Chains A and B, each alone.
Chain A
């Protein structure tokens, strides 16, 4: 649960940035951009800007980490020092280590890792500008980068955050809403079969509210999914 604020986060049904409670921010997605990577993408959710790069499948060392029956996936979520208002110290934090882990788990079910035994797929996520919902933005970018790298996938992974501010259920939290929210709930899922691969929450919600937020996330997720497919088609139509 976030800090307390004097400021009203919802006034006359509108949020700080003018959005309705169930409205996501403007989304931009671009596949490619990092020539050295096997696959890459940039995703913007409003003022949150994240790039993802994928290297692999490539040989994995040290050898004892290798799996003879499948590839492994490694994930690193990192914030650029200048991505936040108060400079972030470079290097991993407890937060970024946890996000790296849940991101890896969010992506893994979508991949046919058994096609590439003894290799690794490295997924690197760099938050260039943080204004809330960075982990879900990162997952959307990583999913595109994996597809761009040609890693076989059974579906893209779509991620959206939901939550609650001022007793109102909202979707796609911006930075200020994130800081002062009553609840924050990032979710990732594979749209084709509606299977959830990341699910986290902190704050306070009734089970009815949780169900409502999931419903809203699935609804907004359709839009994200369409954008992702559009961005991939655009890259490969060129």
Chain B
């Protein structure tokens, strides 16, 4: 019933919470909220609530890039966040989310991974980006991507002493060169919508998530949803995402 109503509204270019189709909900970004983490941020977009924590470890580089640090992004859809989330290992939605966020960070060269090399081919810093969903009310991708870069930007690296990490001594900033943000555009009956709530997501035809750098360059994209998009639609969605990326960037 309610889903039908929401669908009908969207088809008429209206939304259940009276927002414009391309309007974000209220966005709040807090950083430095977890003392045990090297960096952290909590992003609230409406009732969606995401915490990202950055942890750093020592590890070995990948053989094909022996002089570069390692980035690892994970997401947990913990059952506290939604009646739809189950306990157990990350499912396909959580894994997809983590990989979309990861690609935005990786492909924009957000973190200067070369500066995280300690000894070529042997020892590098590993950067863990862990996304923890606290409350799911739609648009987890944009919220998680925003929280991830907000956390990375404010991360400090622990001291390294005789190949051991001194956890309680944070000595320098994590080298961050570029700051990507993600904007997801939903499509329903030729209308494009930004920042859907969960109930809107459930009735969307498809979505396109686009990570955009500060220069307006696109560094990662992902289509979701089980309906096809026309070329024209894809183009319009990209233009809208690039435009809206400037707005969401202001919160960093």
Measuring CB to CB, which residues of chain A are less than 8 angstroms from any residue of chain B?
Answer: 34-37, 40, 47, 49, 51-53, 55, 58, 76, 78, 80-87, 90-91, 122, 124-126, 128-131
Q: Which 8 A-B pairs have the closest CB atoms?
A: A82-B53, A124-B80, A87-B55, A53-B80, A82-B37, A81-B130, A85-B167, A35-B47
Contacts of B136 in A (CB 8 A): 36
Indicate if the CB atoms of A80 and B132 lie closer than 8 Å.
yes
Indicate if the CB atoms of A76 and B79 lie closer than 8 Å.
yes
Indicate if the CB atoms of A90 and B130 lie closer than 8 Å.
yes
Indicate if the CB atoms of B55 and A81 lie closer than 8 Å.
yes
B interface bracket (residues with beta carbon within 8 Å of A) = 20 to 34
The closest CB in chain A to the CB of B158 belongs to A85
Segment at the A interface, from B81-89, B215-223, B229-237: B81-89
The closest CB in chain A to the CB of B57 belongs to A87
The closest CB in chain B to the CB of A80 belongs to B132
Contacts of A37 in B (CB 8 A): 80, 135
Indicate if the CB atoms of B78 and A124 lie closer than 8 Å.
yes
Known: A124-B79, A126-B80. A35 touches B54 (CB 8 A): no
Indicate if the CB atoms of A122 and B34 lie closer than 8 Å.
no
List 13 additional contacts besides A51-B134, A86-B167; criterion CB under 8 Å.
Answer: A35-B47, A35-B137, A36-B137, A37-B80, A55-B79, A55-B83, A80-B34, A81-B53, A82-B37, A82-B40, A82-B128, A125-B80, A128-B51
CB distance from B107 to the nearest CB of A (A): 23
Contacts of A36 in B (CB 8 A): 47, 81-83, 135-137
Report which of B36, B80, B82 forms a contact with A51, defined as CB distance below 8 A. Answer: B80
How far apart sit A58 and B83, CA to CA, in the bound complex (Å)?
A: 10
CB distance from A64 to the nearest CB of B (A): 18
- A to B contact number (C-beta, < 8 Å): 92
How far apart sit A131 and B168, CA to CA, in the bound complex (Å)?
A: 13
How far apart sit A90 and B94, CA to CA, in the bound complex (Å)?
A: 13
Known: A80-B51, A81-B74, A126-B78. A34 touches B135 (CB 8 A): yes
A-B contact pairs, 23 of them (CB 8 A): A34-B49, A34-B81, A35-B47, A36-B137, A37-B80, A40-B80, A51-B80, A52-B80, A53-B81, A76-B79, A76-B87, A80-B130, A81-B55, A81-B74, A81-B76, A82-B34, A82-B130, A82-B132, A85-B36, A90-B74, A90-B76, A124-B78, A124-B80
CB distance from A31 to the nearest CB of B (A): 15
The closest CB in chain B to the CB of A82 belongs to B53
Contacts of A35 in B (CB 8 A): 47, 135, 137
CB neighbors of A among B53-101 (8 A): 53-55, 57, 74, 76, 78-83, 87, 89-90
Contacts of A51 in B (CB 8 A): 80, 134
Known: A82-B53, A129-B35. A87 touches B79 (CB 8 A): no
CB distance from A60 to the nearest CB of B (A): 13
Report which of A47, A122, A128, A129 forms a contact with B79, defined as CB distance below 8 A. Answer: A122
Known: A37-B80, A90-B130, A126-B80. A83 touches B135 (CB 8 A): no
The closest CB in chain A to the CB of B132 belongs to A80
Contacts of B54 in A (CB 8 A): 82
How far apart sit A196 and B70, CA to CA, in the bound complex (Å)?
A: 48
How far apart sit A82 and B75, CA to CA, in the bound complex (Å)?
A: 12
Contacts of B76 in A (CB 8 A): 80-81, 90
Known: A78-B78, A122-B79. A84 touches B137 (CB 8 A): no
Report which of A47, A55, A90, A124 forms a contact with B35, defined as CB distance below 8 A. Answer: A47
Contacts of A78 in B (CB 8 A): 78
Known: A53-B80, A129-B35. A87 touches B137 (CB 8 A): no
CB neighbors of A among B149-171 (8 A): 167-168
